[in-house]
Amino acid sequence: MKKYLKIYFLSLSFFVLIGAIPIIFLYRSGEYLLLNNVVTKQRQSIRKIIYGAALFDQKHHYKRLLLEASSSRIVTLGSSRVMQFRQHMFLEEFINMGGAMGSINQGALIAPSIIKKKPDIVILGLDFWWFNEKRNDPNRIYIKTKNMNASPTPYHLLKFYEWLLDGKINFKEIQKTILFGGTDIGVASLEKEGYGPDGSYYNTRILIGKKQSSDSQFNKTLHEIESGNGRYAFGLLANEQHVKKFVQLIRLFEKNKINVIIFFPPFPGDVNDLFETMGGTYQYVKDLKKKLYESNIQFYDYTDASIVGSNDCEFLDGLHGGEVTYMRILNDLSRKSDLLKNFVDQKNLQKTIDIHEGKAFVPDDEITSNREIDFLHLGCNK
């Protein structure tokens, strides 16, 4: 009987252990930390704290709280394609709201929060697929939530062991995190992957080769464009209602004395060339620009990255320009727009661009001391 009791208690202890370790690890990493505490910790820290949650996608509420906690005079707004604007590029406090506007309607939802803070300038990156006649982007919304399942579930246990088997976490990281806690916030932040205190995003794992890019040589993006899949759906005309909603959004900012600088984010050379070749199937993009012009909406077009001297080696993938590319865009905007010239040190910005030409990331020892590699296999000299 004692033998069976011993086996029973050993078995019970084993199952408790395999359940307890993941939960303790997730708590100690900061995965369950409330978002208002995340923002407070990031803003009060002397060093740069990265927020990289692996279980939850709460970017809309996170960006809203980040904005509310700031006194930013400059805000960048748009999809993930504007997330490479960083504080060091500006002379005044800045917040990156990239990811908070994945559609026209999402822009309208976040606008009141921005207007309440009364920044001087909103730099808005405009994705042309929001206006495709075949898409319904203006009706896409997000759920306003303070925290989503910010407590352990069986799914979280499964994810923990999945990460362990895939090599995304290891026993050394688990032990260190359980004993001493995470130096940053969230499981992804163990690799310095996530949002900085300014709201910009760090794609650290891909940049240094710890994670393989899914868009090597832009093959994935090129295939999607040729196939007309997802955001790259073919179209002849820009939807009138979509354009009207966007114009109303811009006029709302202007009515509240907030200057808006609008630009089309860039694509790498091969991707842009393919768009040009398939111009007929993407005719709605030209129609969109025509309709914006007729609506007296001024914009800057950086679809072709070479306009600002950028090249393929400065891209994160076929959709996202890297940090140096966005420094080039900002420098160009500050030369063309009187609104921006007092917020940007053009001379120092250009100096940094010249030093790090051909890279997607400006080296930052607070993020990683590892060297950027040719992660897209383009033959880039990094």
φ, ψ (nearest 5 deg) of residue 332: -65, -45
Question: Residues 208, 106: one domain?
Answer: yes
pLDDT digits (tens, 9 = 90+) for 251-295: 999 999 999 999 999 999 999 999 989 878 899 999 999 999 999
C-alpha span between 135 and 129 (Å, rounded): 8
**Within a domain: 160:** yes
Clarify whether residues 297 and 256 are in a common domain: yes
**pLDDT digit string (tens) for 8-40?**
333 333 334 455 888 888 999 999 999 999 999
Domain check: are 12 and 132 in the same one?
A: no
Q: Check whether residue 88 and residue 13 sit in a common domain.
A: no
Digit-coded pLDDT (tens) for 171-222 = 888 889 888 888 999 999 999 999 999 999 999 999 999 999 999 999 999 9
- What does the pLDDT read at residue 63? 94
In a domain, 363, yes or no: no
Whether 362 is in a domain gets the answer no
Domain ends where: 135, 164, 192? 192
Does 213 share its domain with 296? yes
Question: 53 in a domain, yes or no?
Answer: no
The DSSP 8-state label assigned to residue 51 in this structure reads B
Nearest CA among 140, 130, 81, 120 for reference residue 285: 130
Alpha-carbon torsion 317, 56, 130, 88, what sign?
negative
**Beta strands of the chain (E only): which ranges?**
74-78, 94-98, 121-125, 194-195, 201-202, 259-264, 300-301
Q: Which residues contact 197 (CB under 8 A, 6 or more apart)?
A: 42, 43, 45, 48, 49, 87
Looking at 162, 192, 222, the residue that finishes a domain is 192
Confidence of residue 315 (pLDDT cuts 50, 70, 90): very high
Give the pLDDT confidence score for residue 143 in this predicted structure. Answer: 47
- Same domain, yes or no: 209 and 301: yes
Digit-coded pLDDT (tens) for 349-360: 999 999 999 999
Which residue, 24, 34, 379, is CA-closest to 216?
Answer: 379
Using the 8-state DSSP alphabet, how is residue 132 labeled? B
Q: Indicate whether 232 and 264 sit together in one domain.
A: yes
374 found inside a domain: no
Residues 318 and 248 reside in one and the same domain? yes
State the Cα–Cα distance between residues 259 and 274, nearest whole angstrom.
34
Q: Do 245 and 138 form a contact (C-beta atoms < 8 A)?
A: yes
Three-point CA angle 273, 277, 279, nearest 5°:
110
Q: What is the pLDDT of residues 116-161, one digit of tens each?
A: 999 999 999 999 999 987 776 555 555 444 445 467 788 888 888 8
Are 26 and 171 contained in the same domain?
A: yes
Record the tokens describing residue 252, joined without a space: 């709302």
Tokens 């009364």 — which residue?
118
Domain that holds residue 240: 59-144+203-355
CATH of the domain at 293: 3.40.50.1110
Does 381 fall in a domain?
Answer: no
Residue 376 lies inside a defined structural domain of this protein: no
Report if residue 380 sits inside a domain: no
Q: Are residues 332 and 247 in the same domain?
A: yes
187: phi then psi, degrees, rounded to nearest 5: -65, -40
How many structural domains comprise the chain?
Answer: 2
Distance CA 196, CA 106 (A): 22
Question: Do 231 and 259 reside in the same domain of the chain?
Answer: yes
177 and 251 housed in the same domain: no
* Beta bridge partners of residue 369, listed in sequence order: none
Spatial CB neighbours of 14, under 8 Å, sequence gap ≥ 6: none
Q: Tell me the backbone φ, ψ of residue 77, rounded to 5 degrees.
A: -130, 145
